[in-house]
C-alpha cells in the first residue's frame, strides 16, 4: 500500500524529469572538467543519447537504476504496490534501451551507459593534479 495520497504521489512523480537530472549533470560536469565537449540529447539518433561526441562517434546514456532496470542493483527494486502498472512500464523501458543501443551500434556509434549507482565512483575519475587532457 502506498504511504502517499493519490495527489501527493502524482505531484512527486511529476517532478521527475527525463533530462538534466542530477546524475546527468554530474557526468556532464566531470567530462567538461576533463576537457571533453559534447552535444546534448541529439534527437536524430535512436534513444536521444544524453551526451553525444560526434567527432568520436560515441554516445553516453546516463540511466537511473530504477527507471532503466539496472541488473543486480539494489536501486532497481520494484515498488510494493501497483505492480500491474509498474512491471510492464519498467520492462518496456529496458527493452527500448537495448533496442536503441543495438540501432546505434548498427549505425557505427560506440555506446556507453553510466548508471546512477556508479556516480560515487566517478569522482575518482576526474582530472588529477599534473594530468593533462
Q: Between these two residues, 20 and 32, which has the higher pLDDT value?
A: 32
Rounded Cα gap, residues 116 and 26, in angstroms = 10
Is 25 in contact with 123 (CB distance < 8 Å)?
no
- Residue 117 in any domain: the answer is yes
**Number of domains the chain contains:** 1
- Residue 9 in any domain: the answer is no
Residue range 83-105: average pLDDT? 95
Choose among 48, 71, 59: nearest CA to 105: 59
The CA-based angle 76-81-83, given to 5 degrees, is 70
Q: Between these two residues, 12 and 96, which has the higher pLDDT value?
A: 96
- Residue 64 in any domain: the answer is yes
In CATH, what number is assigned to the domain containing residue 90?
3.40.960.10
Which pLDDT score, from 0 to 100, does residue 131 have?
A: 42
What is the helix, strand, coil percentage profile of the chain, to 5? 50, 15, 40
Range of the domain at 33: 18-122
Q: Is the pLDDT assigned to residue 124 strictly greater than 70?
A: no
- Listed in sequence order, the residues at least 6 apart from 47 whose beta carbon sits closer than 8 Å to its beta carbon are 61, 96, 97, 100, 101, 103, 104
- Residue 65 in any domain: the answer is yes
- Residue 29 in any domain: the answer is yes
Q: Which of 26-30, 41-45, 99-103, 127-131 has the lowest mean pLDDT?
A: 127-131
- Residue 5 in any domain: the answer is no
Q: Is the pLDDT assigned to residue 4 strictly greater than 80?
A: no
- Residue 84 in any domain: the answer is yes
- Residue 7 in any domain: the answer is no
Q: Tell the residue number behind the cell numbers 495527489, with chain if given.
A: 7
Rounded Cα gap, residues 70 and 49, in angstroms = 17
Amino acid at each position: 500500500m502506498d504511504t502517499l495520497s493519490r495527489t501527493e504521489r502524482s505531484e512527486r512523480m511529476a517532478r521527475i524529469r527525463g533530462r538534466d537530472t542530477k546524475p546527468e549533470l554530474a557526468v556532464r560536469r566531470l567530462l567538461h572538467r576533463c576537457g571533453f565537449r559534447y552535444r546534448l540529447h541529439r534527437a536524430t539518433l535512436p534513444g536521444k543519447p544524453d551526451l553525444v561526441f560526434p567527432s568520436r562517434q560515441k554516445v553516453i546514456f546516463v540511466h537511473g537504476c530504477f527507471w532503466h532496470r539496472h541488473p543486480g542493483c539494489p536501486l532497481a527494486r520494484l515498488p510494493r504496490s501497483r505492480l500491474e502498472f509498474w512491471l510492464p512500464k519498467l520492462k518496456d523501458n529496458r527493452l527500448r534501451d537495448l533496442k536503441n543501443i543495438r540501432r546505434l551500434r548498427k549505425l557505427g556509434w560506440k555506446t556507453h551507459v553510466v548508471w546512477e549507482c556508479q556516480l560515487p565512483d566517478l569522482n575518482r575519475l576526474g582530472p588529477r593534479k599534473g594530468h593533462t587532457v
